[in-house]
């Protein structure tokens, strides 16, 4: 594994040779040459990560296996886990989100309330909370599905955060039904790429109404820099809405967020955008 340090964060990176191999061989093969049905059967039998993603695209189980790779089950699984551009970028995104969230929490001199939208296991948010040990923080992890709750609660217990996290099965658009304190920070990571522009603005408006002055909205944008969009759509069943960071800022601006900051992970796939309620 190759790493590069940016602003004190260790990110995963591709060497020039691996990037060339991906661009001229791997991506053309999986996008255009190999039959879809053959790829599905071959990869599902050899990679639990791919099998989980095909079974339920974008699920919390896909995130778990990407964030914390298990012992590879052979060469194919090792290649997918360690050198697949998408899993690498997901781990980079997690590192960047946790650092940015930790910095946001640390700016407060009072307890901070965080809402996670489509939070899954809440791993990104818990990592950020741990990076701000001197500021009490509490997370309300909202998801339409409760499939990740058991694993998320175990994770919170392991990290010493069980008393500061609450898992909520519900729709974040109705956040005021579930959370009786204004959310200082909203985290919408790994969800807006599945939303239309209209849905993104609707969510941002709902969180803006609930937030106090100075409240932050932290989200990610995604580009097709991984070069495997056709494979993701036709084999993995992932249909993503790609946006440049500038476009996401414009959408959040329609909900009156402003003062945006943007930080990119080195693979050029994910950017983290933060806007504020002024």
pLDDT tens across 171-224, in order? 999 998 999 999 999 999 999 999 999 999 999 999 999 999 999 999 999 999
Considering only CA atoms, which of 161, 249, 255, 152 is closest in space to residue 203? 255
**Please, what is the Cα angle at 85 between 80 and 90, to 5 degrees?**
95
pTM score, two decimals? 0.94
Domain limits, the chain = 1-278
Confidence band of 69 (pLDDT split at 50, 70, 90): low
Cα separation, 9 vs 133, in Å, equals 18
Confidence band of 63 (pLDDT split at 50, 70, 90):
confident
Q: Which long-range contacts (CB under 8 A, 24 or more apart) does 29-38 make?
A: 30/228, 30/231, 30/235, 31/227, 31/228, 31/229, 31/230, 31/231, 32/230, 36/234, 36/235
Q: What is the mean pLDDT of the chain?
A: 93
**For the structural domain made of 1-278, what CATH number should be given?**
3.40.50.150
């Amino acid at each position: 594994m190759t790493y590069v340090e940016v602003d004190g964060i260790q990110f995963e990176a591709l060497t020039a040779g691996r990037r060339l191999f991906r661009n001229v061989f791997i991506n053309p093969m999986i996008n255009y040459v190999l039959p879809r049905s053959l790829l599905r059967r071959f990869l599902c039998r050899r990679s639990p990560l791919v099998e989980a993603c095909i079974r339920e695209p974008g699920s919390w189980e896909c995130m778990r296996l990407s964030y914390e790779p298990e012992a590879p089950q052979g060469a194919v699984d090792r290649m997918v886990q360690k050198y697949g551009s998408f899993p690498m970028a997901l781990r980079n995104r997690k590192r960047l989100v946790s650092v940015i969230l930790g910095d946001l929490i640390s700016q407060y001199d009072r307890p901070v309330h965080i809402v996670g939208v489509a939070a899954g296991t809440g791993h990104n948010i818990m990592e950020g909370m741990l990076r701000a040990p001197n500021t009490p923080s509490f997370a309300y992890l909202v998801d339409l599905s409760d499939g990740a709750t058991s694993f998320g609660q175990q994770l919170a217990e392991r990290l010493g955060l069980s008393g500061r996290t609450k898992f909520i099965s519900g729709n974040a658009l109705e956040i005021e039904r579930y959370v009786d304190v204004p959310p200082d920070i909203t985290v919408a990571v790994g969800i807006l790429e599945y939303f239309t522009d209209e849905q993104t603005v609707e969510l941002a408006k709902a969180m803006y109404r609930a937030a106090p002055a100075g409240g932050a909205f932290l989200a990610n944008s995604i580009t097709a820099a991984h070069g495997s969009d056709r494979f993701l759509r036709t084999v993995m069943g992932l249909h993503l809405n790609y946006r440049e960071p500038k476009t996401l800022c414009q959408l959040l601006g329609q909900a009156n967020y402003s003062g945006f900051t943007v930080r990119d992970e080195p693979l050029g796939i994910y950017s983290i955008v933060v806007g504020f309620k002024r």
